[in-house]
Amino acid sequence: MVLFTLCATFLCTLALPLALFLAALKLWEVYCVSRRDLSCEKPLPPGSMGLPFLGETLQLVLQRYKFLKMKVRKYGHIYKTHLFGNPTVRIMGAENVKHILLGEHKLVSVQWPASVRAILGAGCLSSLHDSEHKHRKRVILKAFSREALENYIPVMGEEIRAGVRRWLESGSCVLVYPEMKRLMFGIAMRILLGFEPTHTTRQTQQQLIEAFEEMIRNLFSLPIDVPFSGLYRGLKARNVIHAKIEENIRKKVARREPTAQFKDALQLLIEHSEQSEQPLRLQELKESATELLFGGHETTASTATSLVTFLALHPAVLQKVREELQEQGLLNSDATEDKQITIELLEQLKYTGSVIKETLRLSPPVPGGFRVVLKTFVLNGYQIPKGWNVIYSICDTHDVATNFSKKDEFNPDRFMEGCSEKDSCRFSYIPFGGGSRSCVGKEFAKILLKIFTVELVRGCDWELLNGPPTMKTNPTVYPVDNLPTKFTPFPYKM
């Protein structure tokens, strides 16, 4: 009798719940697979769908790098999963990515996870479609024209030189990643949103940085808006950002004429709204400004941090950059202060540009992009069903590219003229995405990163105090130790 009671207790407390859990997993898998398109004879990609309702979102959030690498080893370049509340196919590789990026509006359409859409809003560029997207993109591109970029260069140089001076004057350890975010945020505030560099603006900048940190931490979260949830905290931080931007919008509208020598992106959006038959609402303006501020500083801060890392780890590359600056008259202490940096001069810095390209190849700041399938199509022998999400991976596409020799090595020469790797398949190298959804601010980013590299290498020597860092993604790539670094003055000698 006692043995029977123990067995019954065991069944009730352990075996039965385990059996029910396994049955729930099986039913979940069957349910997800049943969402395949029965009119298509091709099978779904291999993969697993994770836990009921949660899918594999928690594994992705908690173990991103290990989780994704395990998936690739197990399933290859196309596999199914369940992320952020939706059945999803994750893809990589030049030919597969090309199919997705060139299939915009025909096979797929942009659709970020519900948490991203809720926080950034439906009125931002990345959430718009068709004619609305094209029209808004044309307006924003005015802020990134060659003429506009030329006007931004002095502001970029001023802010970066001030940042370099701070690092040198600290005399001790500098946490590079937080400093880069502070630096790039200040540049984005001035150039993209037109905030003037006053004491009050510095206070506003710090408040906005803290709010952005909270918003970004919770950008990719479960779509559950209850107190203390990730989405709740993200929305609360977003509201702080919107309030500050609204103040600036109202000042611009009341002033009517901008005081700066150039029109920032927000000013252009306001003018477009006033002249349009369908003016942008205040909420849409705030969402667009938030997206510009996010895109204008988060990705460049990530890449600038990676540049500091790679140049420190490869002194021969750093030396070649300095030799190029010397050739252009940018490394002479007598001429440096007087020589004006222009777009034409930056275009002459071919090797410096190749260093930035190689940094973006090995450490792209944005890991990938999200799409939703408009109609079922076949990719590499697998059906990609209508209604499913597709994630194309930028970092994994770079990793599996076959056209780059010794692809784990940091070698900027692969992007120099005359190298066969330079003009290989363009979908093997996609740090800014591709197709009609390629990054609207990529030329802005390229110029900003070139000026950053120039001012850094002609002003400093530096040492990574912890050696090569471990990298993490959330949502952009960053070093887990914040890259503690010691900066010392560079003496302008070759």
- Full DSSP string of 57-110: HHHHHHSHHHHHHHHHHHH-SEEEEEETTEEEEEE-SHHHHHHHHTTBTTTEEE
Give 240-273 as a DSSP string. HHHHHHHHHHHHHHHH-S--SSS--HHHHHHHHH
71 domain-assigned? yes
Identify whether 17 is part of a domain: no
Number of independent structural domains in the chain = 1
In the prediction, which pLDDT does 208 show?
Answer: 83
pLDDT digits (tens, 9 = 90+) for 192-212: 888 876 655 667 777 888 888
Name the 3-class secondary structure at 306: helix
What would the pLDDT profile of 234-259 be if each residue is shown by its tens digit?
999 999 999 988 888 888 887 766 55
- Is 424 part of any domain? yes
Q: What is the CATH number of the domain that holds 430?
A: 1.10.630.10
- Note the pLDDT of residue 271: 80
- pLDDT at residue 25 in the model: 53
For residue 44, being part of any structural domain is answered with yes
Segment 253-284, tens digit of pLDDT: 877 665 556 678 788 778 877 777 667 788 88
pTM of this prediction? 0.87
Q: With respect to residue 20, please indicate whether it lies within any of the assigned structural domains.
A: no
DSSP for residue 469: P
Q: What is the pLDDT of residue 467?
A: 92
243 lies in some domain: yes
pLDDT at residue 386, as a whole number: 94
Position 364 in a domain = yes
- Give the residue numbers spanning the domain of 202: 35-489
- Going by C-alpha positions, the residue among 371, 373, 376, 361 that lies closest to residue 392 is 371
Question: What pLDDT score does 226 carry?
Answer: 85
Report residue 389: phi and psi, to 5°. -90, 155
pLDDT at 402: 86
First to last CA, the chain: 91
Residues of the chain with confidence (pLDDT) below 50: 335-336, 494
In a domain, 14, yes or no: no
Q: What is the pLDDT of residue 51?
A: 82
In order of 16, 17, 477, the CA distances from 7 in angstroms are 11, 14, 52
Is the CB of residue 388 less than 8 Å from the CB of residue 86?
yes
* DSSP per-residue codes, 175-194: EHHHHHHHHHHHHHHHHTS-
